[in-house]
């Protein structure tokens, strides 16, 4: 378990050092979830893992290309294993659990809103920005009827407009009538009845 921003960033620095020791090239990853919320200062809470959505690969001209995080490359897997050992972390502390979001489409313009941090010479992490975190957290909170995702969503202080836009995006990931009903009901319960009525 990570106990807030400083511990998470200490682990990222260690991961960078392990990548360097293994002779890996620079790694860039896009992160969401509790790790992003902690590092960006929206929450201060424990989180058990780091969720990778995608990797960013650079062309010869430095232009970025987003690549879905289907799995960790071997050197990153090995580096993460060594960090797990050194910090007594769960085996899958670095994982690609939410990567399927790439298949359904990320919020329009999300690349321009990424918050970037560099750890040593071998690791660059792009955290989803606040607007995009609202999208992910609303989808997770509605699907799981609250819990930590609801608390995180409140911490992001979304406006009614942002909630409506996040809800519409969420419905592209699950267009079923059942999910729409569940989503509308959730929005009403958390004080966004006007947004729910527009869906």
Q: What are the boundaries of each domain within the chain?
A: 2-128, 131-192
State which residues of the chain have pLDDT below 70. Answer: 145-146
61 and 10 Cβ atoms separated by less than 8 Å: no
Q: How confident is the model at residue 146, as a pLDDT?
A: 65
Q: How confident is the model at residue 147, as a pLDDT?
A: 83
Enumerate the β-bridge partners of residue 54: 30, 68
Q: Please choose, from the candidates 110, 112, 130, 120, the residue with its C-alpha nearest in 3D space to the C-alpha of residue 53.
A: 110
DSSP string, the chain: -EESHHHHHHHHHHHHHHHHHTT---EEEEEEHHHHHHHTTS---EES-EEEEEEEEE-TT--EEEEE-SS--HHHHHHHHHHHHHHT--TTSEE-GGGGHHHH-PPTTHHHH-EEEEETTTEEEEEPPHHHHHHHHHHHHHHHTSTHHHHHHHHT---HHHHHHHHHHHHHH---HHHHHHHHHHHHHTT-HHHHHT-
Query: Taking the model in full, what pTM does it have?
Result: 0.93
Q: How confident is the model at residue 144, as a pLDDT?
A: 79
């Amino acid at each position: 378990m990570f106990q807030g921003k400083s511990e998470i960033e200490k682990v990222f620095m260690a991961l960078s050092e392990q990548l360097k020791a293994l002779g890996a090239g620079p790694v860039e990853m896009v992160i969401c979830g509790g790790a992003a919320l902690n590092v960006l200062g929206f929450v201060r809470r424990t989180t058990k893992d780091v969720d990778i959505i995608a990797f960013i690969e650079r062309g010869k001209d430095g232009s970025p290309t987003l690549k879905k995080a289907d799995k960790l490359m071997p050197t990153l897997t090995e580096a993460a294993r060594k960090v797990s050992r050194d910090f007594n972390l769960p085996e899958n502390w670095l994982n690609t659990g939410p990567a399927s979001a790439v298949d359904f489409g990320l919020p329009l313009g999300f690349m321009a809103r990424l918050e970037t941090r560099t750890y040593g010479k071998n690791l660059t992490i792009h955290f989803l920005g606040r607007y995009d975190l609202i999208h992910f957290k609303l989808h997770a909170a509605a699907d799981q009827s609250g819990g930590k995702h609801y608390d995180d969503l409140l911490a992001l202080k979304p406006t009614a407009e942002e909630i409506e836009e996040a809800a519409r995006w969420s419905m592209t990931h699950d267009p079923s009538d059942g999910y729409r009903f569940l989503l509308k009901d959730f929005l009403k319960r958390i004080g966004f009845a006007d947004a729910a009525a527009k869906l």
